[in-house]
Amino acid sequence: MTEQQSDAEPGDLTRPSRDPDELLRRAGVRGDPDQDQHFLVDDRVLDRVPGYLPADADRSHVLEVGGGTGALTDRLLGVADRVTVIERDRRLAAFLREEFADDVASGRLTVLEGDALSVELPEFTACVSNLPYGISSEITFRLLPRGKPLVLMFQKEFAERMAADAGTDDYGRLSVSAQHYGDVDVVETVPREAFSPKPAVQSAIVRVTPRAPDYEVADEEFFLDFVKALFTQRRKTIRNGIRNTAHISGLDDPEAVVEAADEAVLRKRAGNMEPADFAALATLADEHGR
């Protein structure tokens, strides 16, 4: 056991926190860039991360993907009633169970050993994670449809693309798809020095506050595929994008969609289309082209 009292009340931010460097030492591990393993070790950043959840977020069951040595897990136990951690590294999963044995015994912490892309995700009320960057996109799109608040660490470039506005260089399929599920904000840029070992790039923390979109789509899967298809042709007009990407979007009759669409829309390029514009066009494509 450490100096931290495991029976501290959730939400007590004055409780002492475990030192991330000490956790690494006790776990007997070192980060491995080849395995996408970069441990967040800056106390100041770790202390701030849980606070980025929306003020009204339900903290009764927080999910963490990639628990590592438990530095963030420790902070989450300070603000949540229950925490579930998914950790694919067998050694680290065992270490977490030992390090937080009292919390596991009390039912406040559950450690799931396995790949976050394939394990069955539990029901959770919010997710706060320093994600393995190699699975950022895949795991994010497992989480987004759940409609829960998310606070996630990404490579800075990925984070900026998630939050980008139409008409900017960073705006793309990722922007439209993420913003379909909620309001996306980059809340903090995190330097390389905050990790051990240092990654090659800067990182950023993103908050996703779930909300229903201000438009309707009849078939969400088709909508997302349609957006993906048009962004593969982002330098071409929407007219040519529709014609050239039926194999991606799943359209049977792309020409019928072109004939039914408004000429002003067909002259645009994907990077200048707002999410609502994509939704309207996808609805028309669903009606005329499938």
CATH superfamily of 20-210: Vaccinia Virus protein VP39 (3.40.50.150)
38 is known to lie in a ligand binding site: yes
CATH 1.10.8-classified regions of the chain: 220-289
d(CA 150, CA 8): 25
Is 66 annotated in a binding site? The answer is yes
The per-residue DSSP string of 178-228 comes to HHHHEEEEEEEEE-GGGEESPPSS-EEEEEEEE---SS--S-HHHHHHHHH
Question: pLDDT per residue over 85-126, tens digit each?
Answer: 999 999 999 999 999 999 999 999 999 999 999 999 999 999
Pick from 23-32, 54-63, 224-233, 244-253: least confident: 23-32
SS3 274: coil
pTM above 0.85, yes or no: yes
Residue 247 in marked binding region: no
CATH 3.40.50.150 positions along the chain are 20-210
Question: Would you mind telling me the total number of residues written for the chain in this entry?
Answer: 290
Largest CA distance in the chain: 70
Annotated ligand binding at 130? The verdict is yes
- What is the pLDDT, as a whole number, of residue 14? 56
Multiple choice CATH, 220-289, 3.30.1460, 3.40.50, 1.10.10, 1.10.8: 1.10.8
